[in-house]
Chain A
Amino acid sequence: METKKAIITVKDLVKKYDDFVAVQGLSFEVYENEIFGLLGPNGAGKTTTLEIIETLRDKTSGEIIVDGFSVDKNPQEIKQIIGVQLQAAGYYPNLNLIELLELFAGLYGANIKPMEMLEKVNLQDKAKAKYKALSGGQKQRFSIATTLINQPKIIFLDEPTTGLDPQARRNLWDLITEIRNAGTTVVITTHYMDEAEQLCDRVAFVERGQIIALDTPDNLIDKLVNSGFERKKEVKKANLEDVFINLTGKEWRE
């Protein structure tokens, strides 16, 4: 197997909130041009880890290098080459989507055509709508559009598909795959294991601030199967989601 180049290196990352240790000595690498998944239960420390890499939170200790830049010394340079979708974020009030994208273009110092950005996430019909007036899924899609403005080397997506309908979720997978195929590295968190299995090249399982497993989805599944694991119930050839998609079509919804 070819040796892959790490674009993000996290070493012994520790984050304490007062007495509470949210992240306890995480170490992992994200390779260039892969889709890397951070999985784990609520409160495991996924968002905390991402936001420290994104230079939005201070770490307690450890070392993080993003594309050769250290989060301690070069946060400004890091911000220029990453795109960030936050699990919780707001957008400037009273502006429509086009105006918001113009604002972000200015903040990133990028030249973009707002309408083209909206087309990427199928929101061109909502160009004149306010962010507040979007549905949950549309909000997610708009957030993703804002991560692409500066043509980043790496994008971070914190639960981008939470709250999306099956069509939107699948279409978003396609979008994320396209983004990766265009040369961007993707770091994503999700609670949907089917999504991680389909999308991610490698996944890390985080629990209580520690990595308990890190490998490709295939290897992780094989390992479990080899250990003698069997599903309780025989799987049918289709599941309810397939029924949903079959009944409602593959198109994006408004």
Chain B
Amino acid sequence: MQKYSNITATIALAKASFRSIMRSPSAVVFTLAFPLIFILIFGFLGGGGTRIDVGITPGSDMNNPVIGMLDKTGMIRLVKNKTKAEFDKLLEKGNVDAMIDVHRKVNSAAYSVNVIYTSASRDKGGILKSVLNNLFYDKTLKPSIAEIKENTITVREYKTIDFILPGQLGFSLLSTGVFGTAFVFLSLRQTLVIKRFFATPVKRSSIVIGEGIARIGFALIGALFIILIGHFFFGFTLVHGVFTVANMLILATLGVIVFMGFGFIISGVAKSESMVPPISNIVTLPQFLLSGTFFSIEAFPTWLQPISRALPLTYLNDAMRKVAFEGMGLWDVKFQIMILLLWGIGIYAVAVKVFKWE
């Protein structure tokens, strides 16, 4: 008799599971349709709001009428007390639309105003320009302003899609990992499919790994699809092209493995299939809302931010954005990866305890 092969069994299971997933409408809807709908909405919506964030260059004079007047317009939010390096980052991302530097001219009572616009925020830069022009011709200010020097720096444009897509991708991975895994293992157990498997020589580890391979494969195909649609139809930035995509897929794999752990736990805790969605939502919804899927975490009230920073999806989203837009390598996001791994260890420690085979 030929020797029994665990690998053959695992592959057979992965193949069966993958076929089954591809034919299950809910899996396809959660993994692809939802994220794509959000990407579409935000892709066409574009960057909302006309508030203009203007950074004050470190070392600038603060007690001058120009800055005071800008503050009063109500349209402009002044960003102070950051280092040059921090401002560069913010400018690049379009979180700061322009920089302003006001200095008293040498041997003069008048001020010199130095404005730097960025290519990332052309529209807002234009608005700021007209606001400044108005100020320049304002009767009360006129005598004190000697000149306005303007410059535009070119930065890579950070589009809405560059923020939205990684968030949607992360959420897609979260739902596939959690819902898919929880449903499959609960239903295989309850419909006695697993019992029939146990009458064959297959190992338990083969069942888990086979299911895992199928789920990861499906999630990665979904991720690739989302990235490509984002790139070719909405101009999603992939700094190093294919290399960036590969890095994103590696992060996606890590993410879905961690999230599957939640699924294993839920399949063990839930008593019936109808209990899966509510329990899964307890896991996914807070992350959907608080992990920077739609808004930058920095926009949240300060008391909420520590909660956001505790969630695994936050770190996956963060790492994805850094890799995709800033062109970082995986080593540059090792902190985010480490937090995800820690979550993974914790989740699987619980999963091993509560997972049920029968």
**Which A residues are closer than 8 A to B by beta carbons?**
54, 56, 76, 79-80, 82, 84, 86, 88-95, 99-100, 102-109, 146, 150
Contact = CB atoms under 8 A, between A and B. Distances in A.
Contacts of A92: 16-17, 20, 188, 193
- The 3 A-B residue pairs with the shortest CB-CB distance, nearest first, are A106-B12, A90-B191, A84-B199
Interface stretch (B3-11, B33-41, B67-75): B3-11
Nearest to B187: A93
A180 to B, nearest CB: 20
A79 B192 contact: no
A108 B196 contact: no
Interface string B173-204: 00000000000000110011101111111100
Contact of B201 (A86, A102, A109, A146): A109
Contact of A107 (B1, B17, B197): B197
A108 B8 CA distance: 9
Contacts of B5: 109
A80 B201 CA distance: 6
B199 A88 contact: no
Contacts of A150: 200
B215 to A, nearest CB: 14
Contacts of A93: 20, 24, 187, 191, 193
B23 interface: yes
B103 interface: no
Given A56-B195, A91-B193, A108 B200 contact: yes
Interface residues on B, range: 20 to 34
- Interface secondary structure of B, over-half rule: helix
A150 B191 CA distance: 23
Interface in B51-90: none
Given A80-B4, A86-B192, A107 B23 contact: no
13 contacts: A56-B195, A76-B201, A79-B199, A80-B201, A92-B16, A92-B188, A94-B20, A94-B23, A95-B20, A99-B16, A103-B13, A108-B201, A109-B4
B142 interface: no
Contact of B2 (A95, A99, A100, A109): A109
Given A56-B198, A103-B13, A108-B200, A94 B8 contact: no
Given A76-B201, A90-B191, A109 B20 contact: no
Contacts of B196: 84, 86, 89-91, 146
Query: Which one of B1, B12, B13, B197 has the highest number of Cβ atoms from chain A below 10 Å of its Cβ?
Result: B12
A88 B190 CA distance: 11
Most chain A CB within a 10 A radius of its CB, from B4, B11, B15, B199? B199
B19 interface: yes
Nearest to A110: B2
Nearest to B23: A94
Interface centre among A82, A91, A94, A107 (most CB of B within 10 A): A107
Given A92-B193, A107-B197, 20 more contacts: A56-B198, A76-B4, A79-B201, A80-B1, A80-B4, A80-B201, A88-B192, A90-B188, A91-B193, A93-B24, A94-B24, A95-B16, A95-B20, A102-B12, A102-B16, A107-B200, A108-B200, A109-B5, A109-B8, A146-B196
The CB with the most chain B CB atoms within 10 A, among A82, A100, A104, A109, is that of: A109
A56 B5 CA distance: 21
Nearest to B189: A90
Contacts of B193: 89-93
A158 to B, nearest CB: 11
Contacts of A108: 200-201
A103 B2 contact: no
B12 A89 contact: no
Most buried by A among B5, B11, B202: B202
B12 A105 contact: yes
B23 to A, nearest CB: 4
